[in-house]
A = this chain, B = another copy of it.
Amino acid sequence: MNEAVVTILQGNGIQPSAQRVAVGEYVLRTEDHPSADQVWAAVRERFPMISRATVYNTLNLFVEKKLLRELILAEGRIVFDPNLGPHHHFIDEESGAILDVPWDAVSVDRVETLPGMDVREYQVVMRGRRRAH
């Protein structure tokens, strides 16, 4: 059992069962933005007997305990993001891949002054094509 993950879970009031650590080992470290079923597939490679319900339960628990964020950017799938700091997202329309865009790469102004809206959080969602740079 990965001690670093065990420590994170304990530090957030989560009993570190073998299944939860296996899910955490993948989803808390990925650079990706995987869906629940992608997490299930990835975790099953090393922990083949884990059930789908446990993966969903664990992901929802991690969201509740603020180890993950849920993003809803594309049709038919919720994706999970272990990058908790403020950042933006770029969606490659060709592959569906979701890329992080650093908070300071884009500048956004006047969000605080919108009449009638108390903005708790915001992000820029960009869509387009990836290209060589």
Give chain A's interface residues, CB within 8 Å of chain B: 70, 72-75, 78, 90, 93, 99, 101, 105-111, 114-133
Main secondary structure of the interface of A (DSSP, over half): strand
Contact A122 B119 (CB under 8 A): no
Collect the chain B residues with CB atoms within 8 Å of residue A126's CB.
Answer: 111, 114, 117, 119, 121-122
Contact B106 A90 (CB under 8 A): no
- CA A6 to CA B38, docked complex, whole Å: 45
Contact A130 B116 (CB under 8 A): yes
Collect the chain B residues with CB atoms within 8 Å of residue A118's CB.
Answer: 128-131
- Jot down 28 A-B pairs with beta carbons below 8 A, ordered by A: A70-B75, A72-B74, A75-B78, A90-B119, A93-B120, A101-B114, A105-B114, A106-B109, A107-B108, A107-B109, A108-B108, A108-B124, A109-B109, A111-B124, A111-B126, A116-B131, A116-B133, A117-B129, A118-B129, A118-B131, A119-B126, A120-B128, A120-B129, A121-B126, A121-B127, A122-B125, A122-B126, A123-B125
Given contacts A72-B75, A133-B116, contact A121 B128 (CB under 8 A): yes
Which residue in B72, B108, B123, B132 is a CB contact (below 8 Å) of A72? B72
